[in-house]
C-alpha cells in the first residue's frame, strides 16, 4: 500500500544553518505531496504542497521539489531560525484516496540560537 | 475564524469507560477525518467521512465508532476505552470531494489518557 518514510529525528541545528529533511514515498499512480508543520501544543498546518512531478512547493523560505524518478519530496531551507523549531510531517494523497492523507512518522527540528 | 474545533482538549479515562470526542468545522467542507498521533508513528487515520451521510474505516478503526451528524460535525466514540487508546486525537476537514486532493485543516487536538 501507499506509504511515506521520513528521516529519523530529532534534528538539531544552529540558527542560520541549512536544513534538509528527507522524505520518500511509495504510491500507485500520481499522488500529491505535502509538508505539514506542527508547532508545540498546536494542530498541524500546511507548509507547502506539490501536485505533479517536477513541481516545487515553497512557503516561508521552505521548499521541496516533487521528484518522481527518485520518489522523493525532500524539505529544504537555506537559513533556519529558532522559530522554525517544530515537528515536520511529509504526507501524500493518492487520487483514489478520497482526499485522505498518509503521513510519515514526523521529524522533530530543534534550532538553537 | 474558528476553523476546526475539537472538544474536549484533555480527558482522563479509566479502562472500560466510554467517551465521545466532538469535532465541528465552519468552512462548509464536505470531508472530515479523525487521526491519532503517537510518538514515532506519525498520524494514522482512524475513520473518515468523504461527504455527509457516509463514513469509512481508515488504517486503525478497531475500538472506535464515528457519526457524521451533519455537514459540520463528525464525532468519534470510544465505547470501552483501553490503555492502547492513549493518544492525541486530531480532527481535520477538507473541501474536496472524492478523488480530489488538497489541504486538510486540523483542529488543535484532544489529548486522551486511559488508565
Taking the CA of residue A33 and the nearest CA in chain B, the distance in Å comes to: 9
Chain B residues within 8 A of A43 when measuring between CB atoms: 4, 90, 106-109
Q: What are the tens digits of pLDDT across the range B46-69?
A: 999 988 889 999 999 999 999 998
Query: Per the omega criterion (within 30 degrees of 0), is the bond before A10 cis?
Result: yes
Chain A residues within 8 A of B96 when measuring between CB atoms: 99
Give the model's pLDDT for residue B99: 43
Q: What is the Cα gyration radius of chain B?
A: 13
Provide mean pLDDT across the span A95-111.
85
Which residue of A lies nearest to B39 if distances are taken between CA atoms?
A: A105
Chain B residues within 8 A of A95 when measuring between CB atoms: 99, 101
Q: What are the tens digits of pLDDT across the range A25-84?
A: 998 888 899 999 999 888 899 999 998 899 999 999 999 999 999 999 999 999 999 999
| B106/A105 CB distance under 8 A | no
Provide mean pLDDT across the span A78-92.
96
Q: Is the dihedral of CA A4, A44, A97, B42 positive or negative?
A: positive
Q: Which of B42, B99, B100 minimises the CB distance to A104?
A: B42
Question: B23, B43, B99: which to substitute to probe chain A, counting the most A Cβ within 10 Å?
Answer: B43
| Max CA separation in chain A (angstroms) | 44
Going from the C-alpha of A40 to that of each of A43, A45, B3, B58, the distances in angstroms are 8, 12, 19, 26
Amino acid at each position: 500500500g501507499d506509504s511515506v518514510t521520513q528521516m529519523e529525528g530529532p534534528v538539531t541545528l544552529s540558527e542560520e544553518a541549512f536544513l534538509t529533511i528527507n522524505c520518500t514515498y511509495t504510491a500507485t499512480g500520481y499522488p500529491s505531496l505535502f509538508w505539514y508543520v506542527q508547532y508545540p501544543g498546536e494542530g498541524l498546518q500546511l507548509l507547502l504542497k506539490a501536485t505533479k512531478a517536477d513541481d516545487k512547493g515553497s512557503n516561508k523560505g521552505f521548499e521541496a521539489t516533487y521528484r518522481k524518478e527518485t520518489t522523493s519530496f525532500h524539505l529544504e531551507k537555506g537559513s533556519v531560525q529558532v522559530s522554525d523549531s517544530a515537528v515536520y510531517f511529509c504526507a501524500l494523497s493518492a487520487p483514489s484516496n478520497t482526499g485522505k492523507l498518509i503521513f510519515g512518522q514526523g521529524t522533530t527540528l530543534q534550532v538553537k540560537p | 475564524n474558528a476553523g476546526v474545533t475539537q472538544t474536549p482538549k484533555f480527558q482522563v479515562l479509566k479502562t472500560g469507560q466510554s467517551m465521545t470526542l466532538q469535532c465541528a468545522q465552519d468552512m462548509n467542507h464536505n470531508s472530515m477525518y479523525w487521526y491519532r498521533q503517537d510518538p514515532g508513528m506519525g498520524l494514522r487515520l482512524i475513520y473518515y467521512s468523504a461527504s455527509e451521510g457516509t463514513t469509512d474505516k481508515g488504517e486503525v478503526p478497531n475500538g472506535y465508532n464515528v457519526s457524521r451528524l451533519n455537514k459540520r460535525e463528525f464525532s468519534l466514540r470510544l465505547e470501552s476505552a483501553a490503555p492502547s487508546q492513549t493518544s492525541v486525537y486530531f480532527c481535520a476537514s477538507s473541501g474536496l470531494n472524492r478523488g480530489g486532493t488538497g489541504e486538510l485543516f486540523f483542529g488543535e487536538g484532544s489529548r486522551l489518557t486511559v488508565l
